[in-house]
Amino acid sequence: MIKTFTFSALALGLCFSAFAQEPLNTAAVQKIRTEGLDNSKAMEIAYKITDVAGPRLSNSPGLKRAQDWAVKYFKEIGLQNVHLEAWGEFGKGWQVDKYYAATTLPFYRPMIASPKAWTPGTKGPIKSEVILIKADTVTDLAKYKGKLTGKIVMIESATLQPLKNSYTPDAVRYTEEALEKMAAAEPQAAGAGRRGNFGNAGGNQRAMMLKLMAVRAAIDSMLLAEKIGLKLTYARGSHGTFFTSNGASYKLDAKPVNPELEVSSEDYLHILRLLRGGEKVELEAEVKTSFYDKDPKGYNVIAEIPGTDPKLKSEIVMLGGHYDSWHSGTGATDNAAGSAVMIEAVRILKAIDFKPKRTIRIALWSSEEQGLFGSRGYVKEHFADPSNMTAKPEHEKLSAYYNLDNGTGTIRGVYLQGNAAVRDIFQTWLTPFADLGAKTITINNTGGTDHQAFDGVGLPGFQFIQDPMDYNTRTHHSNQDTFDRLDGDDLKKSATIVASFVYHTSERAEKLPRKTMPTPAAPRQ
């Protein structure tokens, strides 16, 4: 069924009349809607980022392929000042060159798994009985010394339990009730929700955690000294989905670690049950990985539509999303989706021949997954150092930064990050898109992505509310995060909304209102 999106000028006028104090260019909105909804290139862009470039772990060849493509594409659509900009030193890149693993006893069965990021490969093909290491204390390790060279090992854990079926859907959209609750939220107190390193754990629980950490560190040290062949690790997830992580540091001087496979829960528990039952389990595997350390710097992709107003062209409206991903999938919902939407938004503005008053600048960040490094490095260089909150000249020039990084789900509204002064402005700009389901403004903060780099130094940085879809249940950092998980209709709606927000921000008589500049954070004790 073909979906057609239309919005008459009359309906538009009625929709925004309540917010008439904030100008809205209805003719421009209609142009943006027509281009964005009828001529979308969002899925074509996402295809290039995912299927063609592949996984985009920080400083990997896949990220470099995607960055080179973006630079080329931005130039093709007429953007200016297109370049890769270093934000600082990251460390080593890494990629999987080959992976294979299967049980051969008690019968042959290929395994769903992936090498952990930044871990080495095996020394060629290996075949070994799987050894289950049981150690509650450091002294329990003595019985394994001298017996593990070249072996494939697993660590016993009493916390691992049989999988349970879930009877809730993987993919969901926000209900009207949930959106109304967001809209009715009150401002959050400063520091609300923060926790220490062990959350709210009590004294006994904290002591147990520290003991477990000490034993695990001792096991890893012993396994390295023993020169094991491969370590198998339980990966969170179910139904063939597993959520990946790193098994070593990316730093240039990182300490050596063991080869390590993150194994899907079904395959890991299958092996564990056999070993606990006294059965012999044999496994064959080969893992090849490569490290890249010739250029340890991290880079962001930057491009612009230059401003044309003599008084306002030095001011900036930014939009962006992180371009890097994890390695077990192709980083489709995290965050090729957000990147494709932002690239499509600037394409829409170029396609309607928009000549902005303020300069529009898009950024595709790197190393978000390791700590927002790309955006934080950029903000520190261009706007302010968060350690002392000393503003640089460009700090005064930025009107807003818009970010997208919560999967493929369509935009349903905006998080204000506690900036109540922009509520009515954003409400006006959202009204033409109520028919697309975007109408919610919440005072709430949201975190975990690159708008925080801007918000953290007193700049208006915003993340959009998105339908959750199956982001948290199936795709986020998982082997299922591939092109097929993207929703084309949702991406084109989101790109259209973002393009309109950027348009109106660039044309507004004044920059967007700001919160008070934060004070520097106190040093950690």
- What digits encode the pLDDT tens for the residues 462-490? 999 999 999 999 999 999 999 999 999 99
pLDDT tens per residue, range 254-264: 999 999 999 99
CATH match of 18-92+301-507 with 2.60.120.10: no
Which residues of the chain have a pLDDT value below 70? 1-20, 189-203, 524-525
First to last CA, the chain: 60
Type of residue numbered 69: W
pTM for the complete prediction? 0.93
Q: What is the pLDDT of residue 393?
A: 96
pLDDT tens per residue, range 40-96: 999 999 999 999 999 999 999 999 999 999 999 999 999 999 999 999 999 999 999
Q: Quick check: do 18-92+301-507 and 95-166+208-291 share a fold?
A: no
Q: What is the pLDDT of residue 140?
A: 86
Q: What is the pLDDT of residue 501?
A: 98
> How far from 201 is each of 160, 217, 236, 314, 457, CA to CA, in Å?
20, 21, 22, 50, 31
Percent of the chain scoring above 70 in pLDDT:
93
Could you tell me the two tokens for 35?
Answer: 């281009």
CATH match of 95-166+208-291 with 3.40.50.1110: no
**CA 138 to chain centroid:** 37
**DSSP states along 331-384:** -IIIIIHHHHHHHHHHHHHHHTT---SSEEEEEEES--TTTSHHHHHHHHHHTE
Q: What is the pLDDT of residue 334?
A: 98
Ranges of each domain in the chain: 18-92+301-507, 95-166+208-291
